């Protein structure tokens, strides 16, 4: 696992956007680049940087297919807290050459969630699998909506949200945890794990315990993000603020090993 420590949030976002752009631009295979995407506050700066590159003509999305991580169950597209709305508002609507038919987001209004999730997995496979999955994590280490104690082999499916997550996410729902949907559709830990590369953004003091558990803790279903320790090509991009709970040895190691600033 690589851990790329940047001074602050803006630098972390620039680093991640440069990395993603380099991957898309160097994609030579005879099929579109398949990119997994998250929602949340963490990726907003990365989306801003990717849009900048796209508008400047440095990065094209014409040959990119996207799959989002998750969606609240029961929220329609036009709801301003649906992840469909978030992705269009923060990213897709600003890109000059993203093809709408290449955007995949789980449908929170489906009347058959099992089929919706099975079809999503099948579509990922039909596209050749995900080349790079960008993710964020919750303060409890959940990746997508894979809450603590979700199987590390899980596939796309319905997830019950914990009270903790509903409280944390209530900031977007008038500070009322009851207003946060109780369930979501989410890719599984196994779905993320199957991606050729995974890039997870972890920033801010409130993620310090989660970063330490992800990088230095035991691989455990209690911290679902820790599954990435077994991935062959996982990168954590983080800021200084999130490093507070790392051991000094680990912190120094990652700074030292990244000193060459390889991309
Ligand atoms: C939600 C999403 C996750 C996201 C997490 C962290 O729970 N389902 O995919 O990673 O929030 O969000 P933030 O980046 O706002 O801390």
pLDDT in tens, 162-196: 999 999 999 999 999 999 999 999 999 999 999 99
Q: Order of strands, edge to edge, in the sheet holding 64-68?
A: 2-6, 234-239, 197-202, 132-136, 33-37, 64-68, 103-104
- CA separation for the pair 211, 236 (Å, rounded): 9
HSE (side-chain half, CA atoms, 13 Å) at 58:
12
Would you call 220 helix, strand, or coil by DSSP?
strand
Q: Which residue out of 38, 159, 207 has the highest number of ligand 1 atoms within 8 Å of its CB and is therefore the one to mutate?
A: 38
Ligand 1 atom closest to the Cα of residue 136 is 10
pLDDT at 136 over 90: yes
pLDDT tens column, 32-52: 999 999 999 999 999 999 999
> Contact 213/225 with Cβ under 8 angstroms?
yes
Ligand 1 atom closest to the Cα of residue 161 is 7
CA distances from 161 to 13, 108, 178, 185, 242 (A): 27, 14, 11, 10, 24
Model pTM score: 0.96
Residue with CA at minimum distance from ligand 1 atom 9: 144
Q: Tell me how far the alpha carbon of residue 28 lies from the centroid of ligand 1, in angstroms.
A: 32
Query: Does any ligand 1 atom lie closer than 6 A to the CB of residue 69?
Result: yes
């Amino acid at each position: 696992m690589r851990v790329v420590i940047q001074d602050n949030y803006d630098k972390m976002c620039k680093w991640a956007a440069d990395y993603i752009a380099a991957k898309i631009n160097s994609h030579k295979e005879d099929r579109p680049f398949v990119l997994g995407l998250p929602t949340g506050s963490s990726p907003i700066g990365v989306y801003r940087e990717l849009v900048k590159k796209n508008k400047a003509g440095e990065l094209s999305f014409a040959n990119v297919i996207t799959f989002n991580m998750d969606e609240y169950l029961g929220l329609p597209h036009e709801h301003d807290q649906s992840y469909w709305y978030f992705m269009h508002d923060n990213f897709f609507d600003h890109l000059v050459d993203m093809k709408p038919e290449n955007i995949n987001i789980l449908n929170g209004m489906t009347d058959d969630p099992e089929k919706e999730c099975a079809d999503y997995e099948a579509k990922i496979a039909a596209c050749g699998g995900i080349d790079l999955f960008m993710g964020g994590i919750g303060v409890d280490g959940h990746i997508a909506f894979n809450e603590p104690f979700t199987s590390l082999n899980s596939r796309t499916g319905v997830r019950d949200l914990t009270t903790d997550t509903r409280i944390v996410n209530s900031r977007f729902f008038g500070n009322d945890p009851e207003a946060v949907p109780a369930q979501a559709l989410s890719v599984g830990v196994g779905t993320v794990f199957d991606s050729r590369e995974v890039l997870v953004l972890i920033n801010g003091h409130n993620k310090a315990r989660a970063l330490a558990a992800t990088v230095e803790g035991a691989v455990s279903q209690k911290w679902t993000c820790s599954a990435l320790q077994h991935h062959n090509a996982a990168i954590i991009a983080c800021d200084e603020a999130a490093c507070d709970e790392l051991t000094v040895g680990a912190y120094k190691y990652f700074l030292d090993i990244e000193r060459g600033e390889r991309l």
